Every structure is written in C-alpha cells, then in structure tokens.
Amino acid sequence: MSLVAKKAAISIKDIARAANVSHSTVSRALRDSSLVNHETAERIRRIARDSNFRVSAVARGLATGRTSTIGVVVTAIGDPFNAEVVESIEEAANARGYSVALANSGANPDREMKVVQSFEERRVDGIIVMSSRVGALYVTHLTKMAVPVVLINNQHPGEFVYSVMIDNVPASEAATRYLIQLGHRRIAYFGRRGGFQADTERFAGYRKALEAAGLPVLDELVVRGESTPEGGMRAMQQLLDLPDPPTALFCYNDTSAIGAMRAARLRSLWVPGDISIMGFDDLAIASYVDPPLTTVRQPKRHMGRIATEILCNLLNGSKSESSRRLQGELIVRESTAPPKRRARSSAQHYRLIRPRSPAKSRGIV
Amino acid sequence: MSLVAKKAAISIKDIARAANVSHSTVSRALRDSSLVNHETAERIRRIARDSNFRVSAVARGLATGRTSTIGVVVTAIGDPFNAEVVESIEEAANARGYSVALANSGANPDREMKVVQSFEERRVDGIIVMSSRVGALYVTHLTKMAVPVVLINNQHPGEFVYSVMIDNVPASEAATRYLIQLGHRRIAYFGRRGGFQADTERFAGYRKALEAAGLPVLDELVVRGESTPEGGMRAMQQLLDLPDPPTALFCYNDTSAIGAMRAARLRSLWVPGDISIMGFDDLAIASYVDPPLTTVRQPKRHMGRIATEILCNLLNGSKSESSRRLQGELIVRESTAPPKRRARSSAQHYRLIRPRSPAKSRGIV
DNA sequence: CTGAAAGCGCTTACAG
DNA sequence: CTGAAAGCGCTTACAG
C-alpha cells in the first residue's frame, strides 16, 4: 500500500484486455512488428502509453536471451581517466541500443573476476573491462563464457584477443626523446607500482629513448609508487633529495605529474625553469593547471568508442577487427623547457613574491 | 559455433540432472536455503562450480520481482564531481547486494525522463538521479511508478520527497562572508547558466552575505555561463575588462574557478595577490592546483552513501529519514587573500620571470 | 493479420 | 528434507 510497496507492474495481458486483443498482438504492436494491423497497433500503443505501461525488459530478456546491456568494469569510477572513457562507452552503447552496467574492481584481480562473474549472472550481452588485472586469463574462461569480453588498456602481461590499447612504448619513447631534445640529460621516470603492464611498457619506452641518445638509465632516477597526486609528490621529494637531482621528470600519468608539480612548488622550485615535468593521459584538467602540463594524450573517447564498436560487432556477429593499438600524441604545453640550472636564482626570486596562505596573512590585515 | 555465438547457458536443470536431484533442490542449494540437506547442498554447489554455472539473474528477477539493481542517472559521467559521487554510490550499493546501472542525461530534462523510463523497463529496484532537471515532477509520476526515486542535488525548483541536498544558501553565504572578512568589497559571482536550482540558491547566499555587510549587489559583477574551465575563463576575462574589476570572484564550482585562475594568469595577474578566487565542490584536484583552491566542500562520498541508504531503506520497507540537507564546509587554501590592489607591481614583476612556453623558448636554446 | 501454445530459467507455496 | 507444479511477463514459431 505504501509508496514503497512493490505493486505488481501492469503487463501486456492487462493491455491486451483493455484493447480486446491477445497479448501476442500487444507484444507485436509494442515491438512495431509489421505483422499487426496498423490501426490496431496504434490503438494498442496509445492504451499502453496512457496507462503508463513499461514492457518488462527482464521478461523480454528471458524470452530472447539478450538483455541489451553491456557490463563495464573499471578500477575506480572516480578516476578522471576512467570517467572520461566510461562516458564515451555509455554514449556509444546507448547509440546502439545498449544500456551500461557499471562496477568497480579496485584494480584487484580477485574482485575483478567476481565482478565479471556477477555480470555473467546478470546475463549482460558483453563486457568491457578497463585496466584489467586479469587479462589473458580470460581466454581460459572464454571457452566456457557465453559473453564476449573486450579489454581497454589490458594491464596483464600477454595478448588478449579483443582489446584496444594505447601503444605505450613509442608514446613514452617520444615523450622522453622530447625531453632529451630539450637538452635534458638527467631525466627521471616516475612509474606505477604494482605490476601494471602499462608501467612496464612506458618504462621500456623511456629506456629506449635514453639508450638511443647514449644516456645511462640510472637506478636512482627511476622511482615507482601510487599514481596519485600524493604519490607524485613523494616521488618528487625523493628525487629532489638526491645529491644531483634530475632536471626533468616523466610521470606515469597526469595525476601524479600534478602532484609532482605541487611538490616542486612547495620547495620553491619553478616548473619548468628548475625542473621540467611531463605527464601522460592528457586529462581535461591538464591544460588548466599552472603551468599547463606537457603530456602524452591518450585518445580516451576514441578508446571507449572503439571498444564498444568491437564489442557490438562481436554481438551481432559482423566481422571486424578484434583489437586495436592506438597511438598516443605528444602534447607540448608549458611544464617542460630546456634545463637551466643556473637560473636557480629566479626560483629564489619567485619565492620572494609568492603569496602566503590567507591563514598566515590574516595576521597582517 | 563461433566464439560469438550465443550458446544456451547451462541452467539449474542441467545441474539437477548431474546431481540427480530436482531443479527445485538445486535452486534451494544455490540460495543457501536451510531447507536442503547439508551434504546434498555441498555436492550441488560443487557441481555448479565445476561446471562454471552462473544462475540467471534475469530469470530470478522475473520470478522474484526484484532485480537487485539500482539505476543511477547523472548529467555527465566525465564530470569529476559526478564521478566521485557515483563511485560512492556504487560502493554503498554493492555492500548491500545491489548492482548499478548507469546512464547519462546530459542535463536534459527530456533525456532524463527517457533514461528513467528505460530504467523502469529494466525493472531496477530503485533510481538515484543526480542534478535532476525534472525534480518534483516525479511526484506526479511517483503514484504510477513502482520504483522509488531519490534525488541528489535536485536542480528543479521545489521540494522532492526523497532527496539529499547540499545546503547551498548558508554554504555560499559563508564563502562570500569569508571574502568580505578578508577585506573585499567588490566581489563577483560567476554562476551557472540554465536555470539550475543550485545556482539560484548559491546566488541567494552570495546576495545575503553582501547585504548583511551593507554591500551592494552589482549587476556588472554577476555573470553566468557554462560551469566549465572555458566558461570560467570567459567570465574572468569579462570581469577583468570592467573599468573597475572585482578583487574577488566566487565561482559556482571548482571547475570554472580553475578556468578563472587560468584567465587571470594569462593576463599576468597573480592569484590571490591581484584577485582572490573561490570555488565550490572541493574536487580532488582542488588542493593540487596552483595556488591551491579555497572552496566550499561538498561531502561527495557522504552524499552518495546517504542517497543509497535512503533508497535501500525504501526498498526493504524500513523506516528512515526521507531527505537530508548536508552542510558544506569552507576550505581555506591559498587562492584567497586580502585585497591589495596597490601590489599590482608585483604582478608586473611576476610576469617578468614567468616561464615562456618551450615552443617559444626553443629558439633560445 | 491474429491467437493459442510453448518456452525462456528461475522461485516458491504446497504436498509429502 | 525433497519434488511436482504453477507462475513471473515476455517472444515467437505454428496454425489459421
């Protein structure tokens, strides 16, 4: 009786009764089948509309064996990179008549499998998993799995049949090469801890560029941690504490790069004057931080769209490519510049005119 | 035959046959019913596990009338504020055994209704809509709707039964008052265009604080636009072009505040020395921009959690509060300071030592 | 063009 | 503790 009580939803039988036809006819009319007389169909639809009827997608799903739903699993919804990709997946899916079920994996392999399992129970038609920690292990499952899986930026070593990936090695190599061309010789790499495939590849690109330039890969300049602002801050502090700190830092992602910039500022260092910082991803925010971040763009929307297309093609059996490597794009902004250590004085200078926090300055007022 | 072909999933009948029991018993065993002999149950579960069986949640849903799914509609998944809230909803829902279906409304009322309709068809147990553009209009629907709706930050004028909202007026009033206390007299408001309730309320708080301080609300200092970085930039430019520009700017959200900061920088203005900037939301990024942004925190995770709790209570009939007003919290960081127009020279100074973009400086190398 | 019937894969009184 | 039966609300051959 109360608002919350589950009232038995009205069904096509109710509509059938009202329209004085069989429920089969109602079903057809609602699906715009050409098998039903035009006027009858119109009448049925009007009645359905007037009575606020909603076909049960679950009953339909049971009858047809398709739910028109795709499951999306991400490591963290709140991560801006993921959020942008998910947005484009939802759009692409919607345009093709699919809804999206979303779940968090927390970058935990076990949890990821659980979530995929729950999607299987819900009989989603297909699954997209971002930053999978399970990756190729799906193939052993695949044979038993009725539902196709497409991976975006697979983080597990080894190939997976259906995937869209950023081509990390050349992207990272280009980024590092750019820093070298700027004149940097001591270039640090801040990677992601935890055995992520993208980290392995980006580090490989970094190493490749250094070696091509005849520069050594120095252990002290390679640090790994959480790919968060805090992680970036800690990494930067550690690097700055070195007897001979780097003049440039290449970060696993924009988020940690922004943290690194903050740490530099807190030490009264000027980016890029005292140290250049390069990110990866090109988040929406990257062009609005100060200085705007030089980074490697991942075509986020494109990745989501392609993954959805591959999945949908799989679903309706049309042949298409099964996997795609997308190229990153170096986006030069203002967080990188030629090294000029002698310019330390300007940093000093900078500090002098830096604002103090209102809390502190309040006393002055 | 191919990988994509929909193979008929195995059912409890198959398991029943293998276990030599009726499918009723299998059903019970799988649901951990106490009605079934312990050893039999164990055996059944083992067989189910070994054969990689997944109960059909859609069949179960049809039989029970519950899908254990809640639908979440947001204006844009990519928006960091929404993403954070959605993340907490997913967590809270998951903890209570619910999955989440996600859809984009694009802040479009018609689209929002469509999406809600599609959720009704999918027989979600309940719906959470963020930044609803439809709001109270749901009540007319509610009577016919079998599915409860909870709103987060309803953007439509008027009350809605089930909602969690940030208490905009006092939050915005406190923010403005803080700027006044800092000594500002010309404080601009940059609002969100499009008839959003939160804008109306935040403006009301702004006005209230000014009036309480005996300051005039000047038309020229109130501008509205898109709540994006670009929107913030444009607003700032417009305000800076004023014969007598404001010394402080209060923005509808952090995103536009960050854009405003950028615009100030591009004019070689120093934040907060030349102009103070205040945001709203306290996005994760807010403490990492330079200078760290003074803002009003919305308890995003809390909002998502409370909304999910209200919804779940509604679903299992337990009584609970039906709506909540949450308080914002002024977070003072470094983008606000007392006005000191005479210090313009320092901005001038600042400009002199500003880094130039690598593109430009490349010539120097 | 229309209807009766079977079936999708579960759950759950009901009877034992 | 177990099974046979009915039912959830659709779809879709099949027969007319």
Q: Would you state the pLDDT for residue B158?
A: 84
Nucleotide nearest to A34 (CA to C1'): C1
For residue B220, what pLDDT band results from cuts at 50, 70 and 90? very high
Protein residues in reach of strand D (CB < 7 A): A 8-9, 11-13, 23-24, 27-28, 30-31, 53, 55-56, 59-60, 62-64; B 21-25, 28, 34-38, 40-41, 59, 62-63, 65
| pLDDT the model gives residue A364 | 25
Cis, bond preceding A272 (omega within 30 deg of 0): yes
Categorize the per-residue pLDDT at B142 as very low, low, confident or very high, splitting at 50, 70 and 90: low
Distance A63 CA to C2 C1' (A): 21
**DSSP strand pairing (B222-225 vs B187-192):** parallel
Whether the ω angle into residue B299 lies within 30 degrees of 0, i.e. cis, is no
Q: How far is B164 from chain A (nearest CA, A)?
A: 18
> Which pLDDT value is given to residue A145?
57
Beta strands in A36-104 (DSSP E): 69-74, 99-104
Does the pLDDT of residue B5 top 70, yes or no?
no
Q: Are A295 and A279 in contact (CB under 8 A)?
A: yes
Question: Which pLDDT tens digit goes with each residue over B300-337?
Answer: 999 999 999 999 999 988 877 888 999 999 999 999 99
Strand locations in chain B, DSSP E?
A: 69-74, 99-104, 126-130, 149-152, 163-166, 187-192, 222-225, 248-251, 276-278, 295-297, 323-326, 329-331
Using the structure, give the distance in angstroms from the CA atom of B86 to the C1' atom of D15, rounded to a whole number: 52
Tell me the average pLDDT of chain B.
89
The bases of strand C with some atom under 7 A from any protein CB are 1-5, 7-13
Query: What's the whole-number mean pLDDT along residues B115-121?
Result: 93
pLDDT score recorded for residue A318: 81
- A314, A353, A361: residue with CB nearest B349: A353
Does A318 contact chain B (CB < 8 Å)?
no
> Span B147-174, mean pLDDT?
93
The nucleotide whose C1' lies nearest the CA of B16 is D3
Query: CB under 7 Å from any atom of strand C: which residues?
Result: A 21-25, 28, 34-38, 40-41, 59, 62-63, 65; B 8-9, 11-13, 23-24, 27-28, 30-31, 53, 55-56, 59-60, 62-64
Reported confidence tier of residue B146, pLDDT bands at 50, 70, 90: low
- The C-alpha atoms of residue B157 and residue B129 are separated, in whole angstroms, by 15
Instruction: Mark the nucleotides of strand D covered by protein, meaning any atom under 7 Å from a CB.
Output: 1-5, 7-13
β-bridge partners, A71: A101, A127
Size of interface A-B (CB pairs under 8 A): 234
User: What is the structure's pLDDT at B144?
Assistant: 57
- A260 to chain B: nearest residue by CA? B288
State what percent of residues in chain B have pLDDT above 70.
88
Q: Do B8 and A273 touch (CB under 8 A)?
A: no
The DSSP secondary-structure symbol of A290 reads S
Preceding peptide of B272 cis, ω within 30°: yes
Give the whole-angstrom CA distance, residue B287 versus residue B293. 6
Tell me the whole-structure pTM to 2 decimals: 0.89
Which residue's entry shows tokens 């929909």? B6
Of chain B residues 55-114, which have a CB less than 8 A from chain A? 55-59, 61-62, 65-67, 69, 76-80, 82-84, 86-87, 90-91, 94, 99-104
Q: Which of A8, A99, A291 sits opposite B103 (nearest CB)?
A: A99
Q: Quote the DSSP letter at residue B134.
A: S
Q: Are A321 and A307 in contact (CB under 8 A)?
A: no
Residues 185-224 of A with CB under 8 A from B: none
pLDDT at B239 over 80: yes
In whole angstroms, give the CA distance from residue B149 to residue B262: 39
Residues of chain B found within 8 Å of residue A69, distances taken between Cβ atoms: 101, 122
Write down the pLDDT at residue A316: 86
Q: Is A182 on the interface with B (CB under 8 A)?
A: yes
Task: Sort out which chain B residues have CB atoms less than 8 A from A117's CB and list them.
Answer: 54
Taking only the tens place, the pLDDT of each residue in B25-53 is 999 999 998 899 999 999 999 999 999 89
Cβ pair A285:B258 closer than 8 A? yes
Average pLDDT score over residue span B144-163 = 85
Task: For residues A237 and A243, give the distance between their C-alpha atoms in angstroms, rounded to a whole number.
Answer: 12
**In this structure, what DSSP letter does residue A294 have?**
B
Q: Could you list the pLDDT tens digit for every one of the 365 residues in chain A?
A: 333 334 567 999 999 999 999 999 999 999 999 899 999 999 999 999 999 899 999 999 999 999 999 999 999 999 999 999 999 999 999 999 999 999 999 988 889 999 999 999 999 999 999 999 887 676 666 555 568 999 999 998 888 889 999 999 999 999 999 999 999 999 999 999 999 999 999 999 999 999 999 999 999 999 999 999 999 999 999 999 999 999 999 999 999 999 999 999 999 999 999 999 999 999 999 999 999 999 999 999 999 999 999 999 999 888 778 889 999 999 999 999 999 854 444 443 333 333 333 333 322 22
At residue B202 the predicted structure's pLDDT band, cuts being 50, 70 and 90, is very high
Beta strands in chain A (DSSP E): 69-74, 99-104, 126-130, 149-152, 163-166, 187-192, 222-225, 248-251, 276-278, 295-297, 323-326, 329-331
Among A339-353, B249-263, B275-289, the range scoring the smallest mean pLDDT is: A339-353
What residue in A sits closest to B101 (Cα-Cα)? A101
pLDDT at B120 over 70: yes
Query: Tell me, what's the pLDDT at A358?
Result: 34
Where does the pLDDT of residue B1 fall: very low under 50, low under 70, confident under 90, or very high at 90 and above?
Answer: very low
At B151 the three-state DSSP class reads strand
Q: What is the pLDDT of residue A226?
A: 96
* Whether pLDDT at B250 is above 90: yes
**Beta carbons of B2 and A118 less than 8 Å apart:** no
| CB contact A352 to B (< 8 Å) | no
DSSP symbol at A105:
-
Kindly tell me if the per-residue pLDDT of B343 is higher than 80: no
